[in-house]
Structure formats: C-alpha cells, structure tokens
Structure 1
C-alpha cells in the first residue's frame, strides 16, 4: 500500500523524526498536535479551549493534505495539563467535530513539551 506523509514544518518533526500525518490506504493517523507557534509562544495562552480549537484546526489542515477531512475522524486522544478544565476542552472538541462524534479519550498529563502548552490532540481517520 502507498504511504503518504506530510509535515507542518515544525522543528520538532525533524528533530524527533516523525510526520504530522501519515496515510496508508484508507487509514490516517495525525500526530500529537498543539497550538505552539514557530519561534515560541502559543495560540490562546492560558486558554485550553482555544488551544484545543487551534490544535483541531491544524489537524483538519493535515487531514486535507492527505485527502481526508474531519468527517473521516474515528478517534481522538486529548491530553490536558489540568483535567479540572476539561469542559472548556470538551466544548471546543464538540464545536469543531460536531456530529462526527469520534471515539475520544481525554487524560491529564503532568506536562507537555513546553509549559505554556495546555492541550495536545491526536486523531485517527478512515477515508471512504
């Protein structure tokens, strides 16, 4: 089966050796995605809901690059640094994914790669 990889250009991809998204046949996996800005900082500092929305927008863009879309998403994994703010993140997930309603896991982690990052999202999709 053909393997298609796309990157976002983030320095971490080259340093760690991973792709933003990989499609093999109908299966697409999108790597952990945050609201980090090139050169430092984040979209939505201090706002986990806005960081989740930005991560999901970036996931949508990666899916499009491999011929998929948010409607193809079957599973998401959401990592948060403060589970007490889960409702803000959940609301963003619902706003972006709407009736797609993928299987979703939300877990608290002690930290992400940078202290200003509050949310990281992964997604899996099946096309067709």
Structure 2
C-alpha cells in the first residue's frame, strides 16, 4: 500500500480550510490550485504573463519537494478571469511545457479569491515506474 505524503507551505489557510499544498500517493502527485502570491501577498498584479510564470515556478518547487519535476506533469488546469488573454497565459505556459506537452485545460471563471489574481493553476504529475 502506498503511503500518503501531504506537503505544506505552513500558510494559515491550510489548517483553516483543511488542504495541503500538494499530496503524493505512490507515483501520483496532485498540486492544489496555486495563485501568484508569496509571503508578502500578490505578485505581478495586473500582469497575466508574470503571474502565470510565477505560479509555474512555485509549482515546480513543490514538485521537487515531492520528488518530481515539471517533466512529470501530465495535466495542467488553468482557471483565468479573462479568457481574452489566453495567448498571454499560453505563452508563459508554453515556455515551461512546450516540449513536455501535458494535457491542459483553460477555463474562464468569474473571479478568484482576491481581485489581484488573474489566474490559478493546478497540476497532476505522475512519476514513471522504475
């Protein structure tokens, strides 16, 4: 039986809401929805490209903690507040995933947790069996 490993950032919302930054069970890693925020708050406010890039770099860090990399990502889900900027989000996404080519979904939503956030991304990674 595979052991469950919950990865945390220590953010206060994790305990309040009851979630983990990422969860690994066996060779599967799920990364929770991620926005462009650091310990000081929103990053790249008003910049769809900058937020997308920041989020993917943030996701990459937790994947490494879980024993994976971006090359192990098989699905990305992008939730955006303005689908008209799809090319901008897509350009940043493509810089990281252009050769990896995970399954990807981009959908427009009415809003995220705070108005400064233009995009939220979650990913699924699967480590190849040895």
Normalising by the residue count of structure 1, what TM-score does the alignment of the two structures yield? Answer: 0.95
Q: In 1, distance between residues paired with 2:90 and 2:12?
A: 28
1:49 CA displacement: 1.1
Measured against aligned partners, the alpha-carbon deviations of 1:24-72 in whole angstroms (never above 9, x if no partner) come to 00111000001123343x1111011111111111110110111011000
RMSD: 1.0
Alignment of 1:1-128 (within 5 A): 1-40=2-41, 42-128=42-128
Q: For the residues of structure 1 that align with 2:118 and 2:11, how far apart are their CA atoms?
A: 18
Q: Distance in 1 between matches of 2:5 and 2:72?
A: 17
Q: TM-score, normalised by structure 2?
A: 0.93
Kindly state the Cα deviation for residue 15 of structure 1 after the two structures are TM-superposed: 1.6
**Aligned to 1:68, what secondary structure does the other structure show?**
coil
SS of corresponding position for 2:37: coil
Give 5+ residue unaligned stretches, structure 1: none
- Give secondary structure in 1 for the equivalent of 2:45: coil
Point out 4+ residue stretches in structure 1 off by more than 4 angstroms. none
Q: Give the drift of 1:14.
A: 1.9
Structure 2 unmatched ranges of 5 or more:
none
SS in 1 for 2:38: coil
